[in-house]
């Protein structure tokens, strides 16, 4: 895998994907997005990876948005295609089948916040700021922000963020449920790694099915979602891991899961 703008490292079953363009605050041009997609595809395909952490290089930014220089050259058709390409990368993250944790180490504006919204859990440095400034540039969020944000914080807060473009500090983001927790900047990566390590002790297939149930269920009716849940509950009941998990509890020992 030849990545120019993203660092990819696997250690202790955790893949870390670091957007690495700090001189431009990790702004997302097409090449950066392609590298994020390639790194995420590698993490998905690698059975040695159980959890993925996505973060940004440097002290200041997670990702300061789509590359405004590249956007400035955009045409109508090109804009739609760019949005579709970006959405495909974020859909890949959301549907990775393994937990993806965003370590929001600084600014997450525009496409940067949208990238974090596609992750399953979000943790922010106390100094982080998030927002969707697009309307101020006379564009709209194009990497899923108009869809994922209202599903996470509700329509009222999402519209406030999208229409005003105001930036939201980490404490407010936590109060809104936009991030799961906030840590001191120097502690962020270790804290996120601790969450990732804890997730590695859980049944991997069960987590994949739980992710699928929640993701598919929250974009359909409750009735349909409940059908999805019971079907997946049935499938998970056929796994060796389920028998191991239940037997380990009964035998008062730690389970050993094999993802089967």
How far apart are alpha carbons 19 and 115 in whole angstroms?
A: 11
Residue 121: other Cβ atoms inside 10 A: 19
Q: Does 64 bind ligand COA (CB under 6 A)?
A: yes
Structure tokens at 125: 């440095």
Q: Interface mask (CB under 6 A) for ligand COA, residues 161-180, using x and -?
A: --------------------
Q: Does 143 bind ligand COA (CB under 6 A)?
A: no
Q: Does 114 bind ligand COA (CB under 6 A)?
A: no
User: Stretches 19-27, 90-98, 168-176, 246-254: which one binds ligand COA (CB under 6 A)?
Assistant: 19-27
Residue nearest to ligand COA (CB): 65
What is the sign, positive or negative, of the torsion defined by CA atoms of 155, 144, 141, 24?
positive
Q: Does 69 bind ligand COA (CB under 6 A)?
A: yes
How far apart are alpha carbons 111 and 79 in whole angstroms?
A: 14
- Answer for which of 110, 144, 145, 203 binds ligand COA (CB under 6 A) is 110
Residue 133 vs 144, nearer CB to ligand COA: 133
Mention every residue, 6+ apart, whose C-beta is less than 8 A from residue 12. 197, 200
Q: Active site includes 134?
A: yes
For residue 211, the Cα-to-chain-centroid distance in whole angstroms is: 12
CB of 73 to ligand COA, least distance (A): 12
Q: Active site includes 251?
A: no
CB of 33 to ligand COA, least distance (A): 13
For residue 37, the Cα-to-chain-centroid distance in whole angstroms is: 12
* Strands ordered across the beta sheet of 107-109: 61-63, 107-109, 129-131, 168-169
- Answer for which of 8, 62, 107, 183 binds ligand COA (CB under 6 A) is 107
Q: Does 183 bind ligand COA (CB under 6 A)?
A: no
Structure tokens at 33: 């997005």
DSSP SS3 for 113:
helix
Q: Does 58 bind ligand COA (CB under 6 A)?
A: no
Long-range contacts formed by 243-252: CB under 8 A, 24+ apart: 245/203, 245/206
- Answer for which of 67, 114, 229, 241 binds ligand COA (CB under 6 A) is 67
User: Stretches 10-18, 132-140, 145-153, 252-260: which one binds ligand COA (CB under 6 A)?
Assistant: 132-140
CA distances from 119 to 103, 200, 215, 240 (A): 10, 17, 11, 28
Residue 69 vs 78, nearer CB to ligand COA: 69
Q: Interface mask (CB under 6 A) for ligand COA, residues 22-41, using x and -?
A: --xx-x--------------
Q: Does 66 bind ligand COA (CB under 6 A)?
A: yes
Torsions phi, psi for 25 (to 5 deg):
50, 35
Residues noted as catalytic: 114, 134
Residue ranges that bind ligand COA, judged by CB under 6 A: 24-25, 27, 64-69, 107, 109-110, 133-134, 137
């Amino acid at each position: 895998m030849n990545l120019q703008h993203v660092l990819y490292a696997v250690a202790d079953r955790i893949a870390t994907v670091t957007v690495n363009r700090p001189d431009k605050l990790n702004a997302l041009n097409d090449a950066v997005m392609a590298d994020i997609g390639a790194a995420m595809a590698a993490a998905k395909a690698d059975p040695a990876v159980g959890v993925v952490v996505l973060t940004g290089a440097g002290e200041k930014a997670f990702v300061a948005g789509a590359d405004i220089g590249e956007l400035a050259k955009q045409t109508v058709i090109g804009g739609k295609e760019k949005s579709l390409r970006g959405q495909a990368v974020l859909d890949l993250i959301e549907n990775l089948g393994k937990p993806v944790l965003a370590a929001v180490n600084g600014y997450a504006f525009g496409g940067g916040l949208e990238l974090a919204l596609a992750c399953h859990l979000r943790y922010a440095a106390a100094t982080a700021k998030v927002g969707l400034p697009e309307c101020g540039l006379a564009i709209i969020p194009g990497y899923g922000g108009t869809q994922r944000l209202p599903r996470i914080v509700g329509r009222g807060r999402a519209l406030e963020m999208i229409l005003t473009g105001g930036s939201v500090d980490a404490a407010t983001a936590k109060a809104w449920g936009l991030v799961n927790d906030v840590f001191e900047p120097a502690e962020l990566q270790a804290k996120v790694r601790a969450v990732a390590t804890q997730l590695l002790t859980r049944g991997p297939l069960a987590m994949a099915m739980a992710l699928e149930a929640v993701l598919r269920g929250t974009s359909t009716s409750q009735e349909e979602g409940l059908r999805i849940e019971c079907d997946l509950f049935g499938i998970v009941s056929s796994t060796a891991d389920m028998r191991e998990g239940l037997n380990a509890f009964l035998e008062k020992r730690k389970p050993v899961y094999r993802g089967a």
